[in-house]
């Protein structure tokens, strides 16, 4: 089996650095052996930081990076010297990455922009040295704080593809062929189900040098919201898309039924997906005459634009791009 270079979820063990202990040192001079406390503070433990990198499109580089352990802070020293902070660990991730706590499923960080840095997990704070505890009644405190412990636990990094338009449809609906025609992307194309098992991105050139990004996503099957087929692995990627393009082949037996199944799977997974803009493309329609096109259009909901296209003959592709751009730029209408 071909090994995929697209990795969209990684489970890693993270541990930030412990804070260094404060010092309990007392100053000693030539003329005063007990000149008072001068213990410095401990250094901060190393943080674990996430940084966005637009040149990454997968979490593959983290596949064998299973233990992320930051450096401990150093202890304080005499002469009020603060211990050195532990070195931070910076993890570069693709845009659209979410960091979650595996145990609670809580989202802890999200990276959306190139160069964006987020302190995901903080290192332990360094302890105070004994100089902080000197008072009028206790001028020689023999106490200093220990450093705070770091954070540790299993975490999950999850990638949700960032694209303007997501192609939604059953396996073999013609999504990959469409992407290969309207962009420079070269997805794998064949006449069997689940040819696309990983998201494929393509930039579509529009008029006057403008462009937008389209994602070819793995095909939906009934029960995807419950995890059947590629299930949640597919559905999470469409949460980021501004517009969803439903691709339904002209030779489908029931166009409206197919559309409703797709719609239902989106609603079952996340009802908020129904708030996105929808466009319906009837693929493989080069052999349809006007009468058949009218019959299919009457089957489908009237509130969504319907475009008849053929990737093989280039039919309707300009109209489709116009509809997509209109949906992506509603404020300009």
- Residue 300: other Cβ atoms inside 10 A: 18
Q: Which two tokens stand for residue 138?
A: 């206790």
Phi/psi of residue 35, nearest 5 degrees: -80, 0
Using the 3D structure, point to which of 140, 159, 178 is the last residue of a domain: 159
Q: Indicate whether 103 and 172 sit together in one domain.
A: no
Q: What is the pTM of this model?
A: 0.68
The per-residue pLDDT for 3 is: 42
The per-residue pLDDT for 230 is: 43
3-class SS of residue 92: strand
The per-residue pLDDT for 231 is: 40
> Which residues constitute the domain of residue 146?
9-159
Whole-angstrom distance, CA of residue 222 vs CA of residue 192: 17
CATH number, residue 60: 2.70.210.12
Whole-angstrom distance, CA of residue 32 vs CA of residue 134: 17
Q: Indicate whether 122 and 255 sit together in one domain.
A: no
The per-residue pLDDT for 219 is: 62
Using the 3D structure, point to which of 159, 193, 212 is the last residue of a domain: 159
The reply to whether 2 falls in a domain is no
Whole-angstrom distance, CA of residue 37 vs CA of residue 82: 14
The per-residue pLDDT for 242 is: 86
Q: Indicate whether 174 and 145 sit together in one domain.
A: no
Whole-angstrom distance, CA of residue 236 vs CA of residue 77: 51
Q: Indicate whether 306 and 205 sit together in one domain.
A: yes
The per-residue pLDDT for 193 is: 38
Is the Cβ–Cβ distance between 321 and 214 less than 8 Å? no
Q: Indicate whether 123 and 191 sit together in one domain.
A: no
Q: Indicate whether 39 and 94 sit together in one domain.
A: yes
CATH number, residue 307: 3.40.50.300
Q: Which two tokens stand for residue 190?
A: 């064949």
The per-residue pLDDT for 262 is: 87
Q: Indicate whether 97 and 197 sit together in one domain.
A: no
Q: Indicate whether 150 and 266 sit together in one domain.
A: no
> Which residues face 167 on adjacent strands?
216, 245
Q: Indicate whether 145 and 177 sit together in one domain.
A: no
Strands 165-168 and 211-216: parallel
Phi/psi of residue 82, nearest 5 degrees: -80, 140
Q: Indicate whether 181 and 106 sit together in one domain.
A: no
The reply to whether 230 falls in a domain is yes
Please tell me the total count of domains within the chain.
2
The reply to whether 1 falls in a domain is no
Q: Indicate whether 119 and 208 sit together in one domain.
A: no
The reply to whether 245 falls in a domain is yes
Q: Indicate whether 146 and 202 sit together in one domain.
A: no
Mean pLDDT by 10 residues, the chain (333 residues): 60 95 85 78 96 86 88 94 95 91 91 94 95 86 92 91 83 81 58 49 82 76 44 66 90 90 84 89 89 92 93 90 88 54
């Amino acid at each position: 089996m071909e090994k995929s270079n697209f990795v969209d979820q990684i489970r890693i063990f993270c541990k930030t650095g412990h804070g260094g202990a404060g010092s309990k040192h007392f100053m000693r001079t030539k003329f005063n052996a007990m000149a008072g406390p001068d213990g410095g503070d401990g250094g901060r433990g190393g943080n674990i930081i996430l940084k966005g990198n637009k040149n990454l499109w997968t979490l593959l580089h983290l596949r064998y990076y299973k233990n992320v352990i930051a450096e401990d802070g150093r202890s304080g020293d005499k002469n009020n010297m603060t211990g050195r902070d532990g070195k931070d660990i910076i993890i570069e991730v693709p845009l659209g990455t979410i960091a979650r706590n595996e145990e609670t499923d809580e989202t802890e960080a999200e990276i959306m922009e190139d160069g964006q840095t987020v302190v995901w997990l903080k290192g332990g704070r360094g302890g105070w040295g004994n100089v902080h505890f000197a008072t009028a009644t206790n001028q020689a405190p023999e106490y200093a704080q220990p450093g705070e412990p770091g954070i540790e636990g299993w975490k999950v990094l999850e990638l949700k593809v960032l694209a303007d338009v997501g192609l939604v449809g059953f396996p073999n609906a013609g999504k990959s062929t469409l992407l290969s025609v309207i962009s420079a992307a070269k997805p794998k194309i064949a006449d069997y189900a689940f040819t696309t098992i990983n998201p494929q991105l393509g930039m579509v050139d529009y008029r006057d040098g403008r462009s937008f990004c389209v994602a070819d996503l793995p095909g939906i099957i009934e029960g995807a919201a419950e995890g059947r087929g590629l299930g949640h692995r597919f559905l999470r990627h469409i949460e980021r898309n501004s517009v969803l393009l439903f691709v339904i082949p002209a030779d489908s037996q029931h166009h409206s039924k197919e559309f409703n199944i797709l719609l239902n799977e989106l609603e079952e997974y996340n009802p908020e997906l129904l708030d996105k803009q929808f466009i319906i493309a009837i693929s493989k329609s080069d052999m349809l005459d006007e009468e058949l096109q009218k019959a299919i259009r009457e089957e489908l909901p009237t509130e969504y634009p319907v475009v008849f296209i053929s990737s093989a003959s280039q039919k309707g592709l300009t109209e489709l791009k116009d509809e997509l751009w209109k949906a992506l730029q509603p404020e300009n209408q």
